[in-house]
Structure 1
Amino acid sequence: MRRHIRPTGIAGFRWLLLWGVLAALLCLARGEGKPTVFLISLDGIRPDYLERAETPFFDHLMETGAYSLELAPAFPTVTFSSHVNFATGVKAAQHGITLNTFYDTRTRERYRYAGDQALLEAEPIWTTATRQGVRTLVKDWVNAHNQTGPHATAYFGPHYTRGISDRERVERILRTWEEDEHGEPLRFILAYTESPDTEGHRYGPDAPETTAALAELDGFMAEVYERALALWRRTAGPEDVFYFVIVSDHGMAPVRYHVDPSRTIAIDPRITVTASSALTHYFFDQIADREEAMGLMQELREKLEAIEPITVHARDELPTAWDYAHPYRTGDLVALVPVPYAFFRHQGPGPIQPSEQTGRFFGAHGYDVRTEPTMMTVLMAQRHPEPLGSGNLGRIHGSQLHPTIARLLEIEPAETATAEPVRLAQ
């Protein structure tokens, strides 16, 4: 009978060492290198911008990589809510960022473009990655600021940096990556640009200035890609893989009319109002008498609905597909307007005024992508050294981004991010 002999002592150590080396070589032979992901959000790209603008870099990404011109962001399609949906894989009722500016009935505070991670009620992808050993750099990404705890990323900022150009914003990311001297390389980098959202709001989605902004951004992204690739190559092993992923948070709709209910409706000062272009929240929590609050709610609802084209939902009447009824950050009433209307303060005699008379704010977002296709946006991705070559991915959803990035990084998504990842590679 054959005996199984277990090596011991020095001989055993050498035997284990030999097997360790062989296992490492086998991993290399199987292509089990480490992935690095550079994820950059370009705010406010509508898919048809790519048809109008000269964008050779984006065109090349789509020809050789993977892309979708049908990325459907979650409701509401505003910058903060969309980015947090991307990051967490859940919708506003779960992640808690209901608008760019929202109110919380527990704290009775208004949070205006507040970027602290502590406001999130679901785990973002940068925390998911860090928790699983992926060194991460994130600056000027929505709600990634002032991180605390054991899973804070290697680099993050105290707040969003205003008053700098997109070039300066991304340069800071690349410079931080370049100057990083830690023994373990950064493997997940997140960046952001305000353009072409800024131009879309200012001039409108169909304006030549918006088209020109995208063309300029295309040239800049070509530079960023080459620099990011060079930084990755400094520490990359022979089997390592680099992913460059561009995503946008929403499209842009033309605004022909501005809606300002305050021109004809006097709001009780105890009612808290938070507004965005497509929707406005009204909170009645500071009215102690419940019967009085319900009466004021009904009265305000009737006055709002008398202004065409405003529609109003109570929180428990919101469409279930939106998953938007957050218990303390969604208003008791939510008023909405359709395209081409947008909530915007003006000095006209009535609640409705043509945007041409106001003289500014000709583009908006926040509308439901299911009924307003101009809210659709884009995703583009490439892999190095072997191009993805997957072509058009078809319709995808914002909640899929978190599990997709997790798959690229070869980590597990957060428990709450249950959407199917997008298959970027063939």
Structure 2
Amino acid sequence: MRRSALLALLLAFFPVRAGDSPAAAGPVLLISEDGLGADQFRPDTMPGLWALAERGRRAAVRPPFPATTFNGHVTLATGCWPEHHGVVANGYLRPEDRQRVPAANRVEDIQREPLWVAATRSGVRTAVFHWVGSNGPWEGVTPWRMEAFRPGVPDAEGLAFCESALADGARLVMAYLSGTDEEGHLKGPRSPEALAKLRALDAELAPWLLRMQAAHPGLRVILTADHGMVPMKRRVHLPTVLDGIPVDLITHGGSAYVYLKQPEDLARALARLRKAGLQAWPRKQVPVRYHLGGSPRVGDIVVLAPLGTWLSQARSSREDESERHGRAGAHAYAPESAPMRSWLVVLGAGRGPLADVPAWDIAPTAASWLGIQWAQAPDGEPVPALMSAH
């Protein structure tokens, strides 16, 4: 039997509810599949999940800028813009001592309250699996159940964690899963390897979700991701562009931060970058729509490349080789570019398409469903269309 036919049969036995009343509303399950772009989610790539989405809500999520894994997931978790939650990219320089933070994936990097902390403070039993920043207490608060990220863990272990937490009475469950990020970087987001991963995710996740819905009436599900990805065609080597100007560089793929060692070099660096065909802004002049320029962790200059161009910071042959490995695809471009948008499927909160949703509206929506109170109001707001079903 073909998988699509099998899903149709399962759906007949376990119908997906279009919505539940507030009294019947069940727990909330928030799952992120790293790097899964809205343009990858189609009936031919993920037929089982597409069938589920047809009975729920489907849209795209607009990521923060730059569209990277760590700031994307912290935005999803805090409902705040990067300039407020402090994880301004996958890496940054600490303004207090200019020390490099190469991987901003620790709870210490987060400057605004994550959803799992607000939930715990509100008395909501919460479980978190592998989410960025969920490696310890935040301001002394740890959720009921939490498993910090470990490399090489199969998604099946994450789903088992979620299933166990729901069975044990969790009202909010958050899980980070592998998605298509690795395949997209190594082989390209449109590669056979990425397509095979999409189909494998579909075969694993769709029937599992049906089981969870049958076991937990009123379950509300959000499936999303941190960013999309585009194939790479061109490379710009920033140390060459800025030769003779002393800087520290942190590149993210399609964008970069330039930290000047001599502030008087600002105009010269901007001119060089723009001559190389790149957009470049002093931190205080970054477009307001990017919600970035208010953080001192951001570089003195923010650089944005055209889609399909990646920015290199390599200063040795070894660094160059390391960068090229995993550059068949990249992200960190502007959020208004369609390929950066991630998928969004919502189950148990009505039916029909949604307009694009900013990433910072996801956590406030889940918080509203569960009556969670924030210590400080986030930047985002609950999605109105997802409130009307409750």
Short-chain TM bin? 0.7 to 0.9
| Alignment partner of 1:192 is 2:176 | yes
- Indicate which of 394, 411, 422 corresponds to 2:355: 394
Bigger Rg, structure 1 or 2: 1
Question: Which stretches in structure 2 are left out of the alignment for 5+ residues?
Answer: 1-20, 318-322
Q: Where do 1:204-243 residues align within 5 Å?
A: 204-226=188-210, 228-229=212-213, 233=216, 241-243=218-220
Counterpart for residue 93 of structure 1: 83
Corresponding residue number in structure 1 for 2:66: 76
Assess if the C-alpha contact under 8 Å between 2:52 and 2:206 holds in 1. Answer: no
Cα distance, 1:31–1:80 mapped onto 2, change above 3 Å:
closer
* CA 338–113 in structure 1, closer or farther in 2 if over 3 Å, else same: same
Say which SS state the counterpart of residue 294 (structure 2) adopts. Answer: coil
Corresponding residue for 2:142? 152
The 5 Å alignment of 1:3-402 reads: 32-33=23-24, 35-51=26-42, 53-68=44-59, 70-157=60-147, 159-175=148-164, 180=168, 185-226=169-210, 228-229=212-213, 233=216, 241-263=218-240, 265-266=242-243, 271-284=247-260, 287=261, 293-307=262-276, 309-344=277-312, 361-370=327-336, 372-383=337-348, 388-402=349-363
CA shift in 2, pair 1:374/1:31, >3 Å = closer
Q: What is the TM-score with the length of structure 1 in the denominator?
A: 0.77
Once the two structures are TM-superposed, the CA of residue 273 in structure 1 deviates from its matched residue by: 2.0
1:394-417 deviation digits (Å, cap 9, x = unpaired): 222112111110122133355322
Which secondary structure does the structure 1 equivalent of 2:382 belong to? Answer: coil
Q: 1:149 to 1:71 in 2, by over 3 A?
A: closer
Q: Is contact 1:74-1:85 (8 Å) kept? A: yes
Q: What is the CA RMSD across the aligned residues, in angstroms?
A: 2.9
Aligned residues: 364
Q: 1:99-152: per-residue Cα shift (whole Å, max 9, x none)?
A: 111111114332222322232111111111111100111121011211145532
Q: Does structure 1 residue 404 correspond to structure 2 residue 365?
A: yes
Shift of 1:48: 2.5
Structure 2 equivalent of residue 27 of structure 1: none
- Supply the distance in 2 between the matched residues of 1:336 and 1:60 (Cα, whole angstroms): 37
Gaps of 5+ in 1: 1-29, 234-239, 288-292, 350-354
Contact 2:70–2:132 under 8 Å retained in 1: yes
Structure-2 separation of matches of 1:277 and 1:31: 43
TM-score by length of 2: 0.84
Q: Does structure 2 retain, via aligned residues, the 8 Å contact 1:283–1:333?
A: yes
CA–CA separation in structure 1 for the residues paired with 2:22 and 2:290: 41
Query: What amino acid is the match of 2:29?
Result: F
Change (3 A) 1:128 1:113: same
